[in-house]
Amino acid sequence: MSRQRSEARATGARRLYDEDILRWSEQQAELIRALGRRRDLPTAFDAEAVAEEIESVGRSELAAVKSLIRQVLLHLIKLAIEPESDAARHWEGEIVVFHAELTDRWAPSMAQRIDPDALWRSARDTATRMSRGTPAAARVAGLPEHAPLTLADLLAEPVEPGTLAARLSS
């Protein structure tokens, strides 16, 4: 392989690393597994463990993105059910911060691995537990069963907490 072609491949891998860490980690793990099947490598090279560690980088990013989506949804629920609360401005600020981190960590390949309905149910269940015994409990119970927002809605910039919160109860 020519030096130029090798550098182009390395640049492509680097670009993928920067743009889609999940896909990069899976591709690199597969390459390491293929390398590990070679017979001319030292026996001390544990290709499978190295591949699993690299894959864990992508899985960790995916878990972080799911957590951030859940946090955005939970704070949108709080804002939707108690828009006049003294804490409403704080919740809006939290949504903006969580959204910024979400969009920073987002990778295109994550879309097929994220179930918006599951994250919505999780956030809604948390809100249900948090509101038990309060006047807000009935409003939480009235929220939709299925996710009223898509991933595209949650990733759109700039984030508009009030607009998104209003869509939860419509």
Give 7-61 pLDDT, tens digit per residue.
Answer: 555 577 789 999 999 999 999 999 999 988 888 877 777 889 999 999 999 999 9
DSSP characters over 12-35: HHHHHHHH-HHHHHHHHHHHHHHH
> pTM, whole model, 2 decimals?
0.88
Domain ranges of the chain: 3-168
Give Cα 20 distance to the centre of its chain: 12
> What 8-state DSSP symbol labels residue 44?
T
pLDDT band at residue 148, thresholds of 50, 70 and 90?
very high
CATH architecture of 3-168: Up-down Bundle (1.20)
pLDDT in the model for residue 9: 58
Between CA 148 and CA 111 the distance in angstroms is 17
